[in-house]
Amino acid sequence: MVFETNNAPVLKQYLDDFKQTGNIVADVPRFLALSGFHATAEHCSAVAAKANELAEKFGSDSYRAEQAGLLHDISVIIPEDQRIEFARSHNVEIVPEEKKCPMIIHQKLSVVLAREVFKITDNGVLGAVECHTTLKSGATQLDKVVFLADKIAWDQVGEPPYMNRVTAAMEESLDLAVFEYLDYLWERRSQLQVIHPWFAEAHADLSLLLNR
């Protein structure tokens, strides 16, 4: 394929067999499947569908939410032991918690691939992709929709253990539903490998906003 980017030598190994059709709904799952990530392709499609649904429920842009949902995990193609090096090569800001647990930085690396592979220029979509794992301080409505969609359409077996809390809260507001998930994790923070600063800041933001 023809792939024009300043970082082509770094990305080329992931893209040799991929050719876009311009239909992102079909292209993203195929991009992931080409690298053998069929389960992630299914997860991204499920998150996109849930993000679309939540956007309509809470009055956000369903098309942009669907785009971000499709793209949120595309950096899974980059092996975990190469993610920090990949981030450095693309001038991605790295915090100490991401060096300790490189899995978390995949949210930022998905932005790189969304921009350079799929030519996404919508900063709102890119921003929602960037914080879909941890959320962040000052999160937008689109950020929260995609974040919540990822947690509801999770990629593990069975129903999420926090689902009852989140489902009940969704009847009141998007903010409360997002807070319930964040608070579920916050209550179990001693069990987490790291506490990402964006997660801590997002929890503090919503705790203050909701007076919790």
Contact between 117 and 31 (Cβ < 8 Å)? yes
Domain extents in the chain: 8-210
pLDDT over 90 (residue 20): no
Q: Each residue of 91-139: pLDDT tens digit?
A: 999 999 999 999 999 999 999 999 989 999 999 999 999 999 999 999 9
In whole angstroms, how large is the CA radius of gyration of the chain?
17
How many Å apart are CA 108 and CA 180, to the nearest integer? 24
What are the backbone dihedrals phi and psi of residue 150, each rounded to the nearest 5 degrees, phi first? -65, -35
Neighbour count for residue 11 (Cβ, 10 Å): 19
pLDDT over 60 (residue 68): yes
The answer as to CATH 1.10.3720.10 being correct for domain 8-210 is no
Write down the pTM of the prediction.
0.92
Q: Each residue of 3-17: pLDDT tens digit?
A: 334 444 557 766 767
How many Å apart are CA 71 and CA 114, to the nearest integer? 6
Distance of CA 52 to the CA centre of its chain: 14
